[in-house]
Amino acid sequence: METRVYIETHGCQMNVADTERAATGLRKAGYQITESADTADVVLLNTCSVRERAERKVFTRVGEIRHNAEAHKPVIGVMGCVAQLEGEAIFDNAASIQMVIGTRATDRIASLIERIKDGERTVIDLAERQDGENWDVSPVERHSPHVAFVPIIEGCNKFCSFCIVPYSRGRENSRPAVEIVKEVQRLIQLGYKEIHLIGQNVNSYRPRSSEGLKSFSGATPFCKLVRAVAETGMPRIKFTTSFPRDFHPDIVAAIEEYSNLCDWIHLPVQSGSDRILRLMRRGHNAASYLEKISVIKRASRRLSLTSDIIVGFPGETERDFEDTLALVRECQYDGLYIFKYSQRPGTPAAKFDDTVSVAEKKARFLELETVQREIQNRIYRNYLGKSLSVLVEGRSTRSESDMTGHSTCHKVMNFRGEPGLEGQILNVAVTEAKTNSLYGELLG
């Protein structure tokens, strides 16, 4: 009988993409991919370590899986960032874990499982990607039949002082442009309507060869790449995440040139205080960030803007936090992900005194959330009466009679509609504005 493998994905879009890639390889090697941990022979947890809470979740999940699948005791493996960072130590922490699969070992999982089958008690692979491995994802493994994630750059060289990602995902490694464009063309043939070019810092894209980019204009390789991808005719193209220091105004110019480059930019600022930004080693200050924002705001189409902020970074004073509030008011974000600082062992900031108390972090989180909610309510109300182009992704979880999707500006849009509309791009008139979503009526 075929060995059944279940992969559970936590964390960011890159983990979703890695799971798709791992599942593709496993199926090719003769494994069956299943949807339930309870009946699987092998359970793999694709993990996140960006904050402490995410990391702790791994061990709780392992306990639950062991408990629920008591009878047949599946082989349990940990992949992703926690695997890469903790390595061998994972075996000591949880005796039921038999496989540790690092962030660049996604193409070698089948052979690791074989070794367990052959009687090895534990296996571990923290090595780099091998030459010749390429990002091959079969459509059946994609998380959606309409929206596809296309990784363009792995890893991170920025070493922001709070962040574990450069340690868990290694150095920046850009995929060849020809390979990316070919994948997008294949996705068009398969009927995909939207792609997200993904990477920790998409605009730091710097492939070893300029093959596939030469005939495109652009101030940076990323600007050339987005134009090359736009030329494929993929209906909707989004990209995340952009790194402020490397955000070139030519990206906005490209969005102006191609209507299929969507009107949404995610540009994490982290703090509004120059003192904290320096300690975070972000490579930008409030003024240089706001310059980039003003280019975005001057675009002829209104571009939706979202960001990430960390509250309670070591040494953050009430004054620093006020600078953050002021910057958020000035930027008028369409959406904001707020995080309480979480100390990550091994990062430079872990050596700083974590001076902001849990209670202060919480208070700042709530205050910022309130400020953002007011801004967002106003922005969302501004959509009332307007029509948005929506890619229908499925039935709404809230109501049986509603469908849901995203606008080009990456707003969640729900509307009265029947199943069967999935995968279509439709115009929806906004009739109601909520804090985090819009509601509307299908236009004929």
| Binding footprint of ligand SAH on the chain (CB under 6 A) | 50-51, 162-163, 165, 200-201, 241, 268, 270, 308, 310, 339, 341-342, 344
Residue 152 touches ligand F3S, criterion: CB under 6 A:
no
Residue 159 touches ligand F3S, criterion: CB under 6 A:
yes
Contacted by 139, from ligand F3S, ligand SAH, none: CB < 5 to 8 Å by type: none
Residue 173 touches ligand F3S, criterion: CB under 6 A:
no
Cα distance between residue 112 and residue 83, in whole Å: 14
* Least CB distance to ligand F3S at residue 344 (A): 10
Among 54, 94, 145, 166, binds ligand F3S (CB under 6 A): 166
Q: Which stretch binds ligand F3S (CB under 6 A): 132-140, 142-150, 157-165, 369-377?
A: 157-165
Residue 48 touches ligand F3S, criterion: CB under 6 A:
no
DSSP code of residue 235: S
Among 15, 46, 168, 201, binds ligand F3S (CB under 6 A): 201
Q: Which stretch binds ligand F3S (CB under 6 A): 2-10, 80-88, 151-159, 324-332?
A: 151-159
* Least CB distance to ligand SAH at residue 405 (A): 23
Residue 156 touches ligand F3S, criterion: CB under 6 A:
yes
Residue 243 touches ligand F3S, criterion: CB under 6 A:
yes
**HEC sequence for 258-292:** CCCECCEEECCCECCCHHHHHHCCCCCCHHHHHHH
Give the helix ranges, DSSP H, for 271-381: 274-279, 286-297, 318-331, 358-381
DSSP code of residue 176: P
Cα distance between residue 235 and residue 194, in whole Å: 6
**Per-position x/- string for 298-327, each x denoting binding to ligand F3S as judged by CB under 6 A, each - no binding:** ------------------------------
Contacted by 159, from ligand F3S, ligand SAH, none: CB < 5 to 8 Å by type: ligand F3S
Cα distance between residue 315 and residue 360, in whole Å: 12
Residue 59 touches ligand F3S, criterion: CB under 6 A:
no
Angle in degrees, CA 243, 246, 249, rounded to 5: 110
Cα distance between residue 38 and residue 70, in whole Å: 9
* Least CB distance to ligand F3S at residue 289 (A): 14
Please give the single-letter amino acid code of residue 1.
M
User: What is the Cβ-side half-sphere exposure of residue 10, based on CA atoms within 13 angstroms?
Assistant: 22
Residue 358 dihedral angles phi and psi, to the nearest 5°: -55, -40
Three-state SS at 23: helix
Q: How many residues bind ligand F3S (CB under 6 A)?
A: 10
Residue 160 touches ligand F3S, criterion: CB under 6 A:
yes
- For the record, the structure tokens of 300 come out as 């002829």
Residue 194 dihedral angles phi and psi, to the nearest 5°: -145, 140
* Chain residues in the site for ligand F3S (CB under 6 A): 156, 158-160, 163, 165-166, 200-201, 243
